Amino acid sequence: MEAEMGSFVTHDIKEFDLKSGRSVKESVDSFLVTIPTVLGFILSLLLCGHLPLLSTHRFLVEFLLIGLPTVILVTVGSAYSYTYSLVVSVAILGYLYRNSAPKPPKHKYEVGKRPIVFTLLRATAYSGTCAAILAVDFPSYPTDYRKSRTYGASTMDMGIGLFVVTMGLVSKRTRSISDLKKLPKSVVPLLFLGLARTIVITAIDYHQDESEYGKHLNAFFILGFTKMMGSFYSLFVKSDAQLVGLSIGLLFLHELMLQLGVSQFVMSSEPRDEFLSANREGFSSLQGCVALYLLSICLARWYTSQDLLSYQELTRKLKKMLLVAILSWVLVFVSAFLTGIARVTFNFGYVIWIFAVCLSLILIYAFFFELKLVKTDFKRKKSAGDTELSSQSVPTFVESLNRNGLTHFMLSNFLTGFVNISLDPGHRNDLESVVILYVYMFVCAAVVFYMLKKGIRIA
């Protein structure tokens, strides 16, 4: 038995038991929902890569390739999402097979300290979140995509997990007490946004489902607390490699506490008469968030350990990542039957699932944007005489989100509230849903593109 409640979907625990194969299917389906966005990025570079990055014409064509499929496939065309992905994937692979340019005999692939794959993953998170937070208010949005109140691995359940990973990928391990002095610069803005959101929602009496993060907490608070706690915890290790052991240890300790009764309390209907009980979802998830955050830092440090890689070195690195991704998916399937997958508590199954999704997306992006879609830079190194290859520029749409991702996220939240108040999305037909959602996504993307064009960078 399923019941839709706002932006959530609840499952009858008797039917949707912890030891259920349903989460296995949901975890895979949710990952596949992101593929049309991935394909949009690839098509944008293939078809528009020859145009200047700041070209308005390039932005408009890219948004057509990215935004339109996203809007249709998360609403009225959701049943055709897999068909679209399969057809476009075959077309892209066929094109690359027939048009693969020969590489110089000696060349290096420029991975860099902030790889293009991390930028693409971040853009995937922002773009998907922008579409979902408004699309969920339309009747045409699939019920299975909505957030799970207890256990489940729906498409919208990925949101906060992807943001934790992308935050970790661009963060560094805290090495000393002096490094903590830089912490307020990144943590305070998040906490301020969280406080501002809580005050505004309370002031206008806007409905917020308390079973997501709690009565007072929200995603900004969770991200801010995660970064702060992760920075303190990382002082206990002496190398980036040791972060793996620390994160896994935290995750197992977190799961143990959940199994001892915390999980049952969080998902219960106990009254919210005290601050801790009122925000039990947010507080209970923090240790899992920190574990995922630290694991993401370690992944980033390993991936960027060398600036320049030969073809053999890069493919060897990607093969290792593929093995880890396969192992992660196996653990996801096992945990679906043992511990369940629960976003609300950031349990073991959820953390491993998000990590598996991110590794899979990074691998896809690395194959296309690091290996296949590269341009030759014929500047020769004095010492080795090698020819360096650097990745082509990312799509303009992606670069816009990379420069002002938080601004894009805040704008999408504001416009979501505006549409809900003024256009009553819950009573719109299919055509109206598609038009409203497309215009909304276009406005959000156009604002950050304009900022990119004018050299404005806020956050």
* Encoded tokens for 279: 């925000």
Point out which residues pair with 10 in neighbouring strands.
Answer: 3
- pLDDT above 90 as % of the chain: 58
**Which of 202-211, 283-292, 333-342 is least confident?**
202-211
Q: Is residue 459 part of a domain?
A: no
**Most confident by average pLDDT, 62-76, 170-184, 187-201:** 62-76
Q: Is residue 312 part of a domain?
A: yes
Ramachandran angles phi, psi of 438, nearest 5°? -65, -45
Q: Is residue 458 part of a domain?
A: no
Q: Is residue 70 part of a domain?
A: yes
Task: Flag whether pLDDT at 377 surpasses 50.
Answer: no
Task: Flag whether pLDDT at 385 surpasses 50.
Answer: no
More confident call, 113 vs 95: 95
- pLDDT above 70 as % of the chain: 88
Asked whether 337 and 21 are in contact (CB, 8 A), the reply is: yes
* Domain carrying residue 17: 2-453
Q: Is residue 256 part of a domain?
A: yes
Please count the residues of the chain. 459
Cβ within 8 Å of residue 175, ≥6 positions away = 235
Task: Flag whether pLDDT at 195 surpasses 70.
Answer: yes
Residues 97-149 have pLDDT tens digits of 888 665 655 667 777 767 899 999 999 999 999 999 999 999 999 988 999 88
The pLDDT value recorded for residue 253 is 95
Cα maximum dimension of the chain: 70
Kindly state the average pLDDT of the residues 58-80.
94
If one counts the domains in the chain, the total is: 1
Distance CA 285, CA 273 (A): 20
**Most confident by average pLDDT, 14-28, 168-182, 354-368:** 354-368
Asked whether 389 and 109 are in contact (CB, 8 A), the reply is: yes
- Angle of helix 280-303 relative to helix 348-365, nearest 10 degrees, comes to 30
Q: Is residue 408 part of a domain?
A: yes
Task: Flag whether pLDDT at 384 surpasses 50.
Answer: no
Identity of residue 270: E
More confident call, 214 vs 298: 298
Q: Residue 261: exposed, middle, or buried by beta-carbon count in 10 A (0-12, 13-18, 19+)? A: exposed
Nearest to 122, CA basis, from 162, 86, 161: 162
Query: How far separated are the first and last CA of the chain, in Å rounded?
Result: 43
Do the strands 147-148 and 8-11 form a parallel or antiparallel pair, or are they unpaired?
parallel
Kindly state the average pLDDT of the residues 389-394.
56
Cβ within 8 Å of residue 231, ≥6 positions away = 174, 179, 180, 183
Q: Is residue 173 part of a domain?
A: yes
Q: Is residue 194 part of a domain?
A: yes
The whole-model pTM stands at 0.90
